[in-house]
Amino acid sequence: MSENTYAGVLPILALRGLVVFPDQTIHFDVGRPKSVMALEEAMKKDQTLLLIPQKDLLVDDPKLADLYPIGTVGKIKQVLKSQGDNLRVLVTGLCRARITEIQQSEPYLSGMVESIAEEAEGDSLRSHALRREANTLYNSYLELTEHPAQLIQMKMLASESDGFLADSIAQNSGIEFPGKIKLLSQLNPTKRLELAIKLLRQESEMLRLESDIQEKTRATLDQNQRDYFLREQMKVIRDELGEDDEESEFDTYIQSIRSLKLEEDSEKKLLKDVDRLKKQPFGSSEGAVLRNYLDTVLELPWNKRTKERVDVEAGRKILDHDHFGMEKVKERILETLAVRQMAPDMPPQILCLVGPPGVGKTSISYSIAKSLNRKLARISLGGVRDEADIRGHRKTYVGAMPGRIITALIQAGSFNPVLLLDEIDKMGMDQRGDPAAALLEVLDAEQNHAYRDHYLEIPVDLSDVMFITTANSLDTVPRPLLDRMEVIELGSYTDEEKLMIAKNHLFPKQLAKHGLKKSQLKITDDAIREMIYCYTRESGVRNLERSFAEICRKADMQILSQETPKKITVTGKNLEEFLGVRKYLPDRLPCTDQVGLVTGLAWTSVGGETLEVEVNVMDGSGKLELTGNLGDVMKESAHAAMSYIRANAAKLGVPTDFYKTKDIHVHFPEGAVPKDGPSAGVTVCTALVSALTGATVRRDVAMTGEISIRGRVMQIGGLREKTMAALRHGITTVIIPKDNLRDLEEIDQTVRKQLNFVTAETVDAVLSVALNPKTELDPSIRIPEDVKTPACGLRQ
């Protein structure tokens, strides 16, 4: 303990963030003008002054109230000139002292100072133990700081003063400023030593923690990323202190998740992922995966729904404006809207629009979305083979992303959109799974209220989504998937419908696209019909629209030429100048009735077609040859016809041994085109009977129907398209199975008026109409009396 005492007037030097203790030597810089003048005044006298800390470091001109009550009288040992006007001072503390009176505050601070007597030290066993503990603890502290101080250690070990030991620890350690003020103010040496030990122990713990932080961050420290090091230090400090001070990014995630008002389990999972993200080191790959996941989840339009407009009359106007014809289809769609209007809480029906290419399946879906005031997102399923395309990939995979359903919801920006699943019949499957099976949950109204995408891993409610699927054929659609949808069939357009669509929709659309006006380009109805008959053979109007585009392009070229008039008219006569040579020749009937030549009717993906069957009978050994690129079903139909003819040879007027003495060749022209299906059975049978009996077949008659070996004519499909093909071909009479009588209601009125329909239940009825009356057949062949004539020009 210092035995120095003092009383008198001294210059006062206010210290900022610094404390000087008795019997301790320290150097510091002096820069404030008042402090420099106080220092100079002390040097002029006995080189003593009062060193007293100030309370607020920001106060530049402290008064008595700004100073702590206790300071230290110091002896100046050395003064050196430093940078600028600053001075480097070396002082030694003499004793604790207080200010009793301020003498002056200008040009420097001075006042009456008196020393403070400390309490007497005891020489108890406790004091001895405290000194040993202090020395040991200070040695450990120096090891942590890696700053050797042998001279100080030697003085402390040699001292038996509790006060000197406490002041030495305070002056030569990193104890914080408030702690040093407490030590300076404590006049009891033993208590001061206890406080010094406590504060030094806290400082040692802090140093160990800093060392641990550095050890943890040193392994991943990059010399070029100082900010990374700082973030790691802050993170470990928060973990050790138990503080919950999230960065703004994490706060944003948490607030966004809670604002969604999700189910408890979903919200808990997302918040858990945010906690995992906070623990990830900066720049880690898992952190990037979690950020992408959270961004994707928050991007979903969880609580966004468009206000649905369910108005049948408004829907009718939109459908009529956007699409010509298709009355049955429009009526069925309006019925769906009516159900929505009457029962708004009922889950939307899942519609499947089936029809050949180009008939407006996709465009009518857009019209449905417009009439309901719902947003629409299109998902193309053509060529999809991976189940993960529908349900998403697990986050564990590199480049994982949500499935197409979730992506479509994000694209639509609404939780009640119309989702168009286009070309659902074109999906495949391989070793990666079956996407059609993944759609079973999506399209099931009983399950899709809690649809789980593999990427999201939380339930998503799809019950408000209206699904519309499109397909060209239902043959490749799995039955469980088809069972979940309501099928609406879109048939081929008739030629008259194509004419009206071309005039009202396609031609004006192409005029606008090519910068033309109606006054500059005119296309006559005859030219449009020529385009339909001779340049396009399709069920829809896509190729017809391309033909209009080609005409418009050539019209642009001619209008820009100075040698031609500014108005162009396209007629049937000059159509070849714009579209080139006709791609298809008009179908023509044979000039005369012929033996073994029969016109059948077939359905293809582009609509109905006529199908000629030719039969030649030659002397031989009973061989039957079938040519024309036929499928197995069509070959079986030919064999069934042969079986019927052999069993009824006498009745038909056919030699009973023809299958032994004659070779028969059945040929279907256009051999490059694959053909299959059972509906050509009656056509083959009629051609065989004609060739074997020599009876001619009426050239104005076409037929369709499956045949059995007992001579029954059975139901077929695609009657609407087949009858259109018959009308184009110039046919006047069409023979159909009796079971297809009800399908006549679906046939276009124009076609029904121009064709005569004959229903047949047996082959006998077909032969009686198709073969010319002069043919001598068995009198037992006649049309059954139960064949009735419907009111559409049907004849027996």
User: Which residue in 717, 688, 689, 695 sits closest to 704, CA to CA?
Assistant: 717
**Gap between the Cα atoms of 793 and 796, Å rounded:** 10
User: Which residue in 363, 355, 492 sits closest to 425, CA to CA?
Assistant: 355
Q: What is the pLDDT of residue 784?
A: 44
| 3-state class (DSSP) for residue 467 | strand
Q: What is the pLDDT of residue 228?
A: 67
CB proximity list for 112: less than 8 A, separation 6 or greater: 8, 9, 99, 100, 101, 103
**Gap between the Cα atoms of 590 and 435, Å rounded:** 50
Distance between start and end Cα atoms, the chain: 137
**Gap between the Cα atoms of 522 and 535, Å rounded:** 18
User: Which residue in 201, 190, 145 sits closest to 165, CA to CA?
Assistant: 190
User: Which residue in 593, 573, 582, 520 sits closest to 547, CA to CA?
Assistant: 582
**Gap between the Cα atoms of 148 and 136, Å rounded:** 14
Radius of gyration of the chain (CA): 50
**Gap between the Cα atoms of 583 and 544, Å rounded:** 13
CB proximity list for 374: less than 8 A, separation 6 or greater: 306, 308, 414, 416, 417, 418, 466
Strands 624-627 and 351-354: unpaired
For residue range 540-584, list pLDDT tens digits in order. 888 899 999 999 999 888 888 866 567 888 998 898 888 889 887
Q: What is the pLDDT of residue 238?
A: 64
Specify the DSSP class assigned to residue 176. -
Q: What is the pLDDT of residue 564?
A: 59
**Gap between the Cα atoms of 551 and 545, Å rounded:** 10
**Gap between the Cα atoms of 466 and 419, Å rounded:** 6
Under a CB-based contact definition with an 8 Å cutoff, are residues 796 and 758 in contact?
yes
Q: What is the pLDDT of residue 284?
A: 77
Half-sphere exposure of 677 (CA within 13 A, CB side): 20
Helices 177-185 and 162-171: crossing angle in degrees, nearest 10, is 160
**Gap between the Cα atoms of 490 and 367, Å rounded:** 15
Active site residues: 679, 722
Residue 561 has phi, psi (to 5 degrees) of -80, 140
| Ranges in the chain, pLDDT < 70 | 1-3, 148, 217-228, 231, 238-239, 241-248, 282-283, 562-565, 586-587, 605-607, 773-796
Q: What is the pLDDT of residue 790?
A: 36
